[in-house]
Structure 1
Amino acid sequence: MNVTVIGLGLIGGSMAKDLRKSGFATAVTGVDSNRAHGEKAEKLGLVDQVLPLDAAVEKADLVIMAIPVDKIKSLLPQVLDLVSDRTTVTDMGSTKKELCDGVENHPKRRNYVPAHPMSGTENSGPEAALEGLFTNKIAIICDHEKSGPQHLALIEKMFQSMGMDIAYMSADEQDHSTAFISHLPHAAAYALANAVQDKEDRSIIFDLASGGFRSTVRLAKSAPSMWGPIFQQNKGYVVESLEVYIKHLVDFKESIQHDEKRMYELMNKANNIRSILGGENPSLIKNEEKIVKFYTK
């Protein structure tokens, strides 16, 4: 399997590592607009070689696009123009509807399998690539009925070779869900980091910062070049998630000011997230069983 990875940062580099280790990829070719990144990826052994886009795509059985979503949107039609009828194209972008709409009527739309692996860190660049980053995580495949069956099967096999479970949903459903579980936490982290930096004696605060603060604000270190386009492409749902979050912030603030009993009620309600994330909630277990049986191969 000749795999071409466009974008040799955290996601693309980690996929290259895992696909090579599992034996899914026998040869990995890289494409990166940043020459230094390409050279570093070669030096680290993430890819066998780095080539210009045309040459890298021409020889590929599978093309993986792991670049910011604004770049995917502009480059995806060109990649589909270049590939043969047998070549599968997928992307790892965190938004999906704009990407899918952009190639809805492309002659090779069936070669394209829109996907989103739910895994990552705040780091970027080839050095950030991690072996096993995707193990036991969920990969979302969108609008699968619009992809050719052989192309869909290949992407399913790819994710399974990395130890991932697979969920199927529409591009719109994907964008709505990830607005709350992925995009909102990043937006909140950016806002929290700015709020703390606004304080006049912030140097003292940072000296006192402990693990709790550092883990909460960690996502604010994520690259704006990646997250800005995500916020813009999923603007409607991100704004909706922020409005819900702001409502709860205001509610909590007012409980601290005026209603101590209500404050404890809100904190105890929030504590339920422990059992939900731990799989102890019966309704969630039921949903997980449905996902395993209905959504995955």
Structure 2
Amino acid sequence: MKITIIGLGLIGGSLAKDLRRTKFATELTGVEASEENAREALKLGLVDKVVPLETGIKDADLIIVAVPVDKELEVLPAVLDGVDRNTTVIDMGSTKKLIADLVKDHPKRKQFIPSHPMSGTENSGPTAAIDELFKGKIAIVCDQEDSGPQHLALIEKMFQVLGMNIAYMTSDEQDHSTAFVSHLPHAAAFALANAVQFKEDRNIIFDLASGGFRSTVRLAKSSCSMWKPIFEQNRNYVVNSLDVYIQHLQQFRDCLKNNQFDELEKLILNANKIRTILDGGNQHFIKNEEKIVKLYTKEQ
């Protein structure tokens, strides 16, 4: 399997590691706009070679687009314009609706699988790539009815090899859901980091910072070049999620302000229910191995 990965940062680099280790890829080609990242990726052995986009998309069986979502608006149409008719194309972006709409009428739309692997860290660049980043996580596949069955099957097989479970959603559902479980936590972390840095005696506060604070604000270290365009593209749903979050913050604040400690207790106990939700299974996340095997072995 000849695979080209466009964008050799945390996601692209981690994919390269796992696809090589599992032997899903027999040849890995990289496309990277940053010369420094390209050199680092080669030094780390993430890919076999780094080439220009036009060269990288030729003769590839699978092309993975793992660039920031604003860059993808330029890269994805160019990729679909230039790929062979049997090549499968997948993206890794955290926003989907704008991207899916961009190529919905493209003559090679059926070769494209819009996806979002729900995994990552606050670090970026090729050196941030780690083994098994995706294992046990959820891969969202969007608008699967608009993709060709053989292309969809290849991607389902890839996610299976990575140890991921698959959730099937529309692009709009994906953007709505991730606004709450991914984009809102990042926005809250950025706001919390700014709030603490606003304090005049912030150095003393940082000296006292414990594990709880560090784990809560960890996401604030995430790359601006990645997250600014995510917020821009999903701004409506992110604003909605922030409105809901602010409402609950105000409710918590008002309990303290008005000495309503019985109500405060109810809020905390209700919040504790999240443990049960996170520890339980969800039937919307489907891993249908029989379907994967059947479609993956179907003739092209």
Look up the equivalent residue of 1:261 and give its one-letter code.
Answer: D
Look up the equivalent residue of 1:97 and give its one-letter code.
Answer: K
Does residue 15 (structure 1) correspond to residue 15 (structure 2)? The answer is yes
Quick one: distance in 1 between partners of 2:286 and 2:85?
32
The TM-score, its normalising length taken from structure 2, stands at 0.95
Equivalent residue number for residue 65 of structure 1:
65
Equivalent residue number for residue 185 of structure 2:
185
Aligned residues: 290
Matched residue SS, 1:79: helix
Quick one: distance in 2 between partners of 1:16 and 1:126?
10
Equivalent residue number for residue 141 of structure 1:
141
Quick one: distance in 2 between partners of 1:267 and 1:82?
54
> What does 1:1-297 align with in structure 2 at a 5 Å threshold?
1-258=1-258, 259-279=260-280, 285=281, 288-292=282-286, 297=292
1:275 CA displacement: 1.6
Quick one: distance in 2 between partners of 1:246 and 1:294?
39
Equivalent residue number for residue 282 of structure 1:
none
Quick one: distance in 1 between partners of 2:35 and 2:287?
44
Matched residue SS, 1:167: strand
1:63 CA displacement: 0.5
1:291 CA displacement: 3.1
Contact kept, 8 Å, 2:28 with 2:47, in 1: the verdict is: yes
Look up the equivalent residue of 1:291 and give its one-letter code.
Answer: F
1:72-122 deviations in whole A, cap 9, x for unaligned? 112111100010100011100000000000001111111100000000000
Matched residue SS, 2:57: helix
Quick one: distance in 2 between partners of 1:39 and 1:170?
37
Quick one: distance in 2 between partners of 1:294 and 1:261?
46
1:290 CA displacement: 4.8
1:177-218 deviations in whole A, cap 9, x for unaligned? 000000000000000000000000000000110100000000
Look up the equivalent residue of 1:183 and give its one-letter code.
Answer: H
The TM-score, its normalising length taken from structure 1, stands at 0.95
Q: Compared with structure 1, are the counterparts of its residues 93 and 37 closer, same or farther at alpha carbon in structure 2 (3 Å cutoff)?
A: same
1:57 CA displacement: 0.6
1:257 CA displacement: 1.1
Q: Compared with structure 1, are the counterparts of its residues 214 and 148 closer, same or farther at alpha carbon in structure 2 (3 Å cutoff)?
A: same
Unaligned runs of 5+ in 1: 280-284
1:65 CA displacement: 0.5
Matched residue SS, 1:217: helix
Q: Compared with structure 1, are the counterparts of its residues 125 and 182 closer, same or farther at alpha carbon in structure 2 (3 Å cutoff)?
A: same
Identical-residue share of aligned pairs (%) = 62
Quick one: distance in 2 between partners of 1:62 and 1:79?
11
1:115-135 deviations in whole A, cap 9, x for unaligned? 000000000000000000000
1:59 CA displacement: 2.5
Unaligned runs of 5+ in 2: 293-300
Look up the equivalent residue of 1:289 and give its one-letter code.
Answer: Q
Look up the equivalent residue of 1:26 and give its one-letter code.
Answer: T
1:21-76 deviations in whole A, cap 9, x for unaligned? 11110000001100010111011010000000000111211100001001111211
1:294 CA displacement: 7.4
Quick one: distance in 1 between partners of 2:248 and 2:116?
28
Quick one: distance in 2 between partners of 1:182 and 1:6?
23
Contact kept, 8 Å, 2:60 with 2:87, in 1: the verdict is: yes
Matched residue SS, 1:289: coil
1:277 CA displacement: 1.2
Look up the equivalent residue of 2:228 and give its one-letter code.
Answer: G
Quick one: distance in 2 between partners of 1:158 and 1:294?
13
Quick one: distance in 2 between partners of 1:209 and 1:278?
28
